[in-house]
Structure formats: structure tokens, C-alpha cells
């Protein structure tokens, strides 16, 4: 099939489905101008990811300083990013009453900005838009902490208990949020169509969610520029721009 035929097939699959689980990865956000951490020219080309393991962040002041420098550098791009056509297409799926949930590996809040219902969005790798104290749990708006950093603070601490502050994202070596993972697997077992958008499906345990959906009888669409380990199990694979393909697919239900 050519791309046009693949898109038409995907549109038909969406039209026939009633409980759609969207699984989104970095390839969805790159089309909104947010660089992929792992791609050439990404943040891990500039920084050594081993410097930012959770245990180092909580045990070493210098590691915290380096972590905040890296994170703040990335924050401005993420804060100002806007949803692209694929994000808006997912909103169309929700408006049609077909969206079960969105499980996202992204920390950029773009599904929220696109207008999807917050209760349908499961951010399994957390969010960059808030900061929490690892000691007392007090939560801060990210921009409040970034203002402190712009004012010269290199390592911010909690103003209630002086505990370590960290963005609410999952770092290397940090435990995944059990409640969110359980909910994601629950939806994977219930959906009749899982659509993977812009994920290479190599980061576990997150990548096991679409696989679980297939095992439970769901059909699977993968839209990603490069191949994934789950391509052989998919009903439809499109190696194309996520926003171009999904935008076309939802036209019949829009």
C-alpha cells in the first residue's frame, strides 16, 4: 500500500473503533519544536545522562546544580511549545466520544494545551510543569522556581522544610509511578484500538503498554518515522510525519 492507502485504512479503523487508547512519545513533540532527548543534536549529545541519575541528584549538591542547569535550559522551549495537528487530532477523537485515554511518555503538557480532558491524560514519565519537594511533598508551579534560578539561585530548596526540590519528571533510576502504570495497563486491556504516535517503543516499562493492548485483543496502529520492535504485531504501520498522517485519518469523524 502507498501512504494514501494506509491513511485511508487508518481512518476506517478509527471510524470503526469506540475505545481508543493513544500512546504518545517524543516523535509527537518534535513536530511542536521540542527536541528529542535521544536523537542526534538532542540534550544527551550535550550532557551525559549518567550525571542525572536519581540517586546522584538526591545525594550530591553539585549534581543537583548541573541537573537544574540542564533542566532550565530545556524549560523555555517546552513552556512556549504549542500543540501540533496531531495533538488537535487526538482532541477530535475525544470530541467524537471515542477516546478511552492518552498514555504519554512526554513531559511537555501539550495534550493539556490541546484541550484534552486532564482525567484522560496519563503522564507516565511525569510533567515538567510542576516541581515538588522530595521531603515534605509541597508542590510548586515550575515558573515560580525558574524565577528563583533566573534571579541567581543555582539549586532551589523547599521554603517550608528546606528539602530537595525536583521537577515532577521521572529521572533515570527513579521508580515509575505505580498508580499511573496500573491505570495505563487497565486501559490497554480495555481498548479496541491502540494508536502509537511518535514512539520508538524501546523505553521500558512504558513500551510494554501497547504490547499489552495487542495481547488483550486490541488492534494496533503505529505512526512513527522509523521502525519499532512492535511493527510486526501492528495492523497498520505508517513511517511518516505523525501530524500529517493522523490529521488526515480523523477527518471523517471531525
| pLDDT tens by residue, 123-179 | 999 999 999 999 999 999 999 999 999 999 999 999 999 999 999 999 989 999 999
What pLDDT score does 35 carry? 81
Distance CA 107, CA 78 (A): 9
Q: DSSP letter at 163?
A: P
Categorize the per-residue pLDDT at 103 as very low, low, confident or very high, splitting at 50, 70 and 90: very high
Q: Known catalytic residue: 109?
A: no
C-alpha cell at 203: 523505553
Categorize the per-residue pLDDT at 204 as very low, low, confident or very high, splitting at 50, 70 and 90: confident
Q: Give the mean pLDDT of the chain.
A: 94
Closest CA to 197 of 243, 235, 254: 243
Ordered structural domains, the chain, with CATH: 1-34+82-125+175-254 (3.40.50.1220), 36-80+126-169 (3.30.1600.10)
Is the per-residue pLDDT at 47 higher than 80?
no
What pLDDT score does 171 carry? 92
Distance CA 254, CA 241 (A): 20
Catalytic residue among 87, 109, 111, 125: 125
Categorize the per-residue pLDDT at 41 as very low, low, confident or very high, splitting at 50, 70 and 90: low
Amino acid at each position: 500500500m502507498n501512504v494514501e492507502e494506509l491513511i485511508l485504512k487508518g481512518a476506517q479503523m478509527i471510524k470503526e473503533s469506540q475505545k481508543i487508547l493513544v500512546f504518545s512519545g517524543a516523535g509527537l513533540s518534535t513536530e511542536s519544536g521540542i527536541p528529542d532527548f535521544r536523537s542526534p543534536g538532542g540534550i544527551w549529545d550535550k550532557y551525559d545522562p549518567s550525571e542525572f541519575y536519581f540517586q546522584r541528584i538526591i545525594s550530591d549538591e553539585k549534581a543537583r546544580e548541573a541537573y537544574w542547569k540542564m533542566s532550565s535550559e530545556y524549560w523555555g522551549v517546552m513552556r512556549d511549545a504549542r500543540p501540533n495537528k496531531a495533538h488537535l487530532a487526538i482532541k477530535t477523537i475525544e470530541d467524537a466520544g471515542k477516546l478511552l485515554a492518552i498514555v504519554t511518555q512526554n513531559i511537555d503538557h501539550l495534550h493539556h494545551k490541546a484541550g484534552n480532558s486532564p482525567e484522560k491524560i496519563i503522564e507516565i514519565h511525569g510533567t515538567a510543569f510542576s516541581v515538588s519537594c522530595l521531603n515534605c511533598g509541597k508542590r510548586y508551579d515550575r515558573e515560580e522556581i525558574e524565577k528563583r534560578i533566573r534571579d541567581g539561585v543555582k539549586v532551589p530548596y523547599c521554603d517550608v522544610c528546606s528539602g530537595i526540590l525536583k521537577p515532577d519528571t521521572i529521572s533515570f533510576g527513579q521508580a515509575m509511578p505505580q498508580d499511573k502504570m496500573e491505570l495505563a495497563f487497565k486501559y490497554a486491556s480495555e481498548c479496541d484500538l491502540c494508536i502509537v504516535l511518535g514512539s520508538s517503543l524501546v523505553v521500558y516499562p512504558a513500551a510494554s503498554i501497547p504490547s499489552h493492548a495487542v495481547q488483550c485483543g486490541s488492534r494496533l496502529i503505529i505512526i512513527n518515522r522509523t521502525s519499532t520492535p512492535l511493527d510486526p504485531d501492528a495492523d497498520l504501520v505508517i513511517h511518516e510525519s505523525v501530524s500529517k498522517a493522523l490529521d488526515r485519518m480523523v477527518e471523517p469523524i471531525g
